[in-house]
Amino acid sequence: MREKHPGSLFITMTNAKMKITAVIPAGGSGRRMQSSKAKQYLLLQGIPLLVHTLRTFQESPVIGDIVLVVPAADVDRIQSDIVDAFAMTKIRRVVAGGKERQDSVRNGLAVLPADCEIVLIHDAARPFVSPALIEKAVDGALREGAVAVGVRARDTVKQCDGAGRVIDTLDREQIWMAQTPQAFRRVTIVAAHQKAQEDNFYGTDDAALVERMGIPVIMIDSIPDNIKITTTEDLAWAEHQFSTRKL
Ligand code: CTP
Ligand code: MG
């Protein structure tokens, strides 16, 4: 049962309205894309990749606010070129990213609105995120406290050394590939990032930082197309997907 208020989920038992903020890390340089422009600004269907992602959050009834993290040199420009130009009214803050993705996310968490209780983190480079997937992640965080979307392994997974020699064959039934969105109670994700910084620990996703605190993270089935645009081939594939979808 859902209310229509932006940024609130109706919780049947308590009538409480939880404020939900999306943190969108777009502070990378897209090295693997090998383009002169950072990949989040490359055009897809004539508009920056980043805008496709942001639009889904802007239009999601469960998202109240958006914190956008961009490369330090772009902060001022993004306010006019993205936030104003595309009427992204939910973007409350545009902040400078850091060296690693984890540093960028932490900078975003540092400026969360005071009343935010649930934080959803989503890579700018995944423009196929759907409204339903966002809602599933938010619902999961409300229920479980910490969730990540992902896909179950289809192939057999081999753990290997640097020379490709197999060390172990993992139990495929237990293997998931994690993506974003990942959603958490605010207190949990803020504490996890703080602890990681104290320990100088770098993980490859936000959930890993929560896991190392001993807090359970629950995986949620993703949707088939929620890929991260990494290479020029991904961009070409995305262009094709959008052209067939949005006709
Ligand atoms: N990101 C970020 N700050 C960084 C690095 C990455 O906010 N210091 C963001 C990217 O902009 C992207 C998301 O995190 O939206 C996922 O990172 P990735 O796909 O690895 O993007 P890049 O780091 O930009 O690409 P590459 O690794 O090829 O350089
Ligand atoms: Mg990267």
pLDDT in tens, 131-173: 999 999 999 999 999 999 999 999 999 999 999 999 999 999 9
Q: How far is the C-alpha of 27 from the C-alpha of 109, rounded, in Å?
A: 14
Instruction: Tell me whether residue 171 is in a domain.
Output: no
Distance 122 CA to ligand 2 centre (A): 14
Q: Considering its fold, how many domains does the chain have in total?
A: 1
- Residue with CA at minimum distance from ligand 1 atom 8: 100
Instruction: Tell me whether residue 157 is in a domain.
Output: no
Instruction: Tell me whether residue 30 is in a domain.
Output: yes
Q: Which CATH number belongs to the domain containing residue 125 in this structure? A: 3.90.550.10
pLDDT of res. 12: 39
Distance 42 CA to ligand 1 centre (A): 14
Instruction: Tell me whether residue 96 is in a domain.
Output: yes
Instruction: Kindly list the protein residues whose Cβ atom lies closer than 6 A to any atom of ligand 1.
Output: 25-32, 39-40, 69, 97-101, 104, 123-125, 228, 230
Instruction: Tell me whether residue 101 is in a domain.
Output: yes
Instruction: Tell me whether residue 95 is in a domain.
Output: yes
Q: What is the pTM of this model?
A: 0.93
Instruction: Tell me whether residue 202 is in a domain.
Output: yes
pLDDT of res. 215: 98
pLDDT in tens, 181-238: 999 999 999 999 999 999 999 999 999 999 999 999 999 999 989 999 999 999 999 9
pLDDT in tens, 79-119: 999 999 999 999 999 999 999 999 999 999 999 999 999 99
Mutational pocket test of ligand 1: of 123, 128, 227, the residue with most ligand atoms within 8 Å of the beta carbon: 123
Q: Tell me which residue range forms the domain holding 229.
A: 8-152+181-245
- DSSP assignment of 111-137 equals T--TT--EEEE--TT-TT--HHHHHHH
Ligand nearest to the CA of 121: 1
pLDDT band at 14 (very low <50, low <70, confident <90, very high): very low
pLDDT of res. 13: 37
- DSSP assignment of 42-66 equals SEETTEEHHHHHHHHHHH-TT--EE
Instruction: Tell me whether residue 168 is in a domain.
Output: no
